[in-house]
Amino acid sequence: MSALTPISTPTAAEEELVRRLYARDETALTVFYDRYGEALYGVILRIVKTEEVAEDVLQECLVKIWHSFASYDPGRGRLYTWVLNVSRNLAIDKIRSRQHRVGSLTQGLDGSLAAQRQEAPATFRPEHIGLQEITLKLIPEQRQIIDLLYFGGFTQSEVAEELNLPLGTVKTRARTALKVLAKLIR
């Protein structure tokens, strides 16, 4: 193999690893982890932002790769590209999950003292202070939707599920509430 071998051509070692993974050789997973684990962890960490969550997602990723390896097609791309996409997708799924969003909204007491000592971020917009109080002028059904969407971090689908309402009703109430708020803010 020469130094001019294209990057897209799998190496003999990669081909052997792929063959062993297809054969369900459990020791190949250790080789796989040694070869790709650190890079995958780095990608996951950039997405989820916390080491603990990144470690969990990497573990989920390894399990998913092991169980779904039969779906890997070497003709469509390199092994690294495939596992990178699996890792990235799992990390994105994690940060989109309700459990992660709700967990990231709550903060321990030890973290709250540090937050009080920090300078306000450049994105801090003082004109937004009091916005939640303005929502008190909405009717309860609209306020509940706005609270969940904008202050609770829920998606419209999650609000519909949480309140056991049709998605169309949630969208209508949200749109109507935003129109009312726009008039109140002017």
Each residue's pLDDT tens digit, 163-177: 899 999 999 998 998
Q: What residue segments make up the domains of the chain, in order of their start? A: 12-101, 127-185
Contacts 24+ apart (CB under 8 A), 54-63: 54/91, 56/94, 57/87, 57/90, 57/91, 57/94, 58/87, 60/90, 60/94, 61/86, 61/87, 61/90, 62/29, 62/32, 62/33, 62/37
Each residue's pLDDT tens digit, 19-31: 999 998 888 888 9
pTM above 0.85, yes or no: no
Q: Does domain 127-185 have CATH number 2.120.10.30?
A: no
Each residue's pLDDT tens digit, 68-96: 888 998 888 888 888 988 999 898 888 88
Q: What angle do CA 18, 15, 73 make, to 5 degrees?
A: 55
Each residue's pLDDT tens digit, 135-173: 788 888 888 888 888 767 778 888 898 889 999 999 999
Question: How many CA atoms lie less than 13 Å away from 158 in the CB half-sphere?
Answer: 15
Q: How confident is the model at residue 10 (pLDDT cuts 50, 70, 90)?
A: low
Is 49:34 a contact under the CB 8 Å cutoff?
A: no
What CA–CA distance (Å, rounded) separates 165 from 156?
A: 10
Query: Which position has the higher pLDDT, 120 or 41?
Result: 41
Q: How confident is the model at residue 127 (pLDDT cuts 50, 70, 90)?
A: very low
Q: Does domain 12-101 have CATH number 1.10.1740.10?
A: yes
